[in-house]
Structure 1
Amino acid sequence: MSDKRPPASSSARARLETPGRRWRGFQIDVEAVGRVSESIARFLGTGKYLLIQTVVVIVWIILNVAAIGLQWDPYPFILLNLAFSTQAAYAAPLILLAQNRQENRDRVSLEEDRARAEQTKADTEFLARELASLRLAIGEVATRDYLRRELEEIKSLLAERDAEEQQPHR
């Protein structure tokens, strides 16, 4: 068999196909980023966050309207609008990421529930078959009442026979 690989210096494609030449730079823990994103998204949806944001906006506006020497963002409040735009630009993807992670957890939970339901159904069907076979087997087994009736009948037949034997034959 011949080696069909091109020489190492032939093209960039050959270098990309060679294992072990990847860049080994900064590694990101996707799970950790997801957890942090979810915690931020959860905080963004709380009353505490809304209260803090409202207080910051009120203080911002009061300082920029009332304090003549501290007006870093005069009336149209362009810097405040820029801050809100930046916040919205980050909040939307964080919320979507949190929703995607929740959807994945829900899907896994649904699959587990479905598997558990299938197992429960199989167990229930097995127990129903076992119960049916026990009922059939019990139907074929002599019960105490059945034996008592049979013994009473035999006793009465024996009593009749003894009574006939003790009578003189005519």
Structure 2
Amino acid sequence: MRLLPRLRPNPDAFGSATENFARFMGTPQFLFYMSVFCAVWLLWNTLAPESLRFDSAAIGFTLLTLMLSLQASYAAPLLLLAQNRQDDRDRVSLKEDRQRAERNLSDTEYLTREIAELRIALRDVATRDYVRSELRSVLDEVLETADGQDVLLQKRKPRKPSDATTSVPRVQPAGRQSQ
């Protein structure tokens, strides 16, 4: 049977409070306040009238030593607790960074493969200059084979495009009936 109730503090609230305290202990402001506190303590117990002193200089300021030891005994575990919480956050952050780096690497590899495929596909596509040069060479060959015959290219009837070479659907003009 328990005489005292079991304390169950909220670990996040307690951890947050210890981190705030540890963060404050690492500031110049804390060092200044602690130095002022110790200086006032030492001055009071050294220069004050004997009846108003509460910690004797003759026995080495025992009460001040006890208070500083007590503060240090609580400060060390609080600092370790804050450090452990920071380590946990760093571990989670490192895991997220690693996952992000893996995603970036896989995305980069995918894009590299896509670019390589596009380059390979573009090698097979004839460029406009290539087609023009080939048409000119074919035209030159045709003109050479004509061997002096008069070939009138301007009087030639334009070819009707075949269904196989065009993908544009034929639309009958308005008012015309299909034959």
Length-normalised TM-score, structure 2 = 0.76
**Residue matched to 1:61:** 42
Question: What pairs with 1:66-145 in structure 2 (closer than 5 Å)?
Answer: 66-68=47-49, 69-75=51-57, 76-145=60-129
Q: Alignment partner of 2:9: what SS?
A: coil
* Amino acid aligned to 1:84: L
- Distance in 2 (CA, whole Å) between partners of 1:91 and 1:147 is 82
Q: How many residues align?
A: 143
> Displacement of 1:164 after TM fit?
3.3
- Distance in 1 (CA, whole Å) between partners of 2:117 and 2:80 is 55
Question: Rg larger in 1 or in 2?
Answer: 2
- Distance in 2 (CA, whole Å) between partners of 1:84 and 1:26 is 27
Length-normalised TM-score, structure 1 = 0.79
* Amino acid aligned to 1:56: F
Q: Which runs of 5+ in 1 are unaligned?
A: 1-23
Q: Alignment partner of 1:164: what SS?
A: coil
> Displacement of 1:159 after TM fit?
2.7
- Distance in 2 (CA, whole Å) between partners of 1:111 and 1:73 is 53
Q: Which runs of 5+ in 2 are unaligned?
A: 151-179
Counting aligned pairs with the same residue, the percent is: 47
* Amino acid aligned to 1:102: Q
- Distance in 2 (CA, whole Å) between partners of 1:77 and 1:91 is 21
> Displacement of 1:144 after TM fit?
1.5
- Distance in 1 (CA, whole Å) between partners of 2:78 and 2:6 is 25
CA RMSD of superposed structures (Å): 1.5
> Displacement of 1:25 after TM fit?
5.2
**What are the superposed Cα offsets for residues 9-30 of structure 1, whole Å, 9 maximum, x if unpaired?**
xxxxxxxxxxxxxxx9543210
- Distance in 2 (CA, whole Å) between partners of 1:163 and 1:42 is 98
**What are the superposed Cα offsets for residues 49-105 of structure 1, whole Å, 9 maximum, x if unpaired?**
000000011111010000013210010111100010000010000000010000000
